[in-house]
Amino acid sequence: MVSHRHRVGLFFTTCAALTLCACAASTTEDGGGSARSDEPVFCTLDVKLCPDGSSVGRVAPSCAFAPCPGE
């Protein structure tokens, strides 16, 4: 049988681990989908087909598509 002292220790260890995970997640994501200024930005490699037949890719740091020629 597990002692009361062991259960209390396990409870506080679990709470501490969950708190650390929550803090780590909140510092790596700002909710806006953009990276912190000291980190490199990697955009997806998809392309947008423009009306003139050319294509444009995404541009950091916002990862929005670059404007088509003539826009």
Alpha helix positions (H), 1-67: 4-28
0.85 surpassed by pTM: no
For the stretch 16-69, pLDDT in tens is: 555 554 545 444 444 455 556 788 999 999 999 999 999 999 999 999 999 999
Closest CA to 32 of 59, 61, 58, 57: 61
Of 23, 44, 11, 55, which Cα lies nearest the Cα of 2?
11
What's the number of CA atoms in the CB half-sphere (13 Å) around residue 15?
6
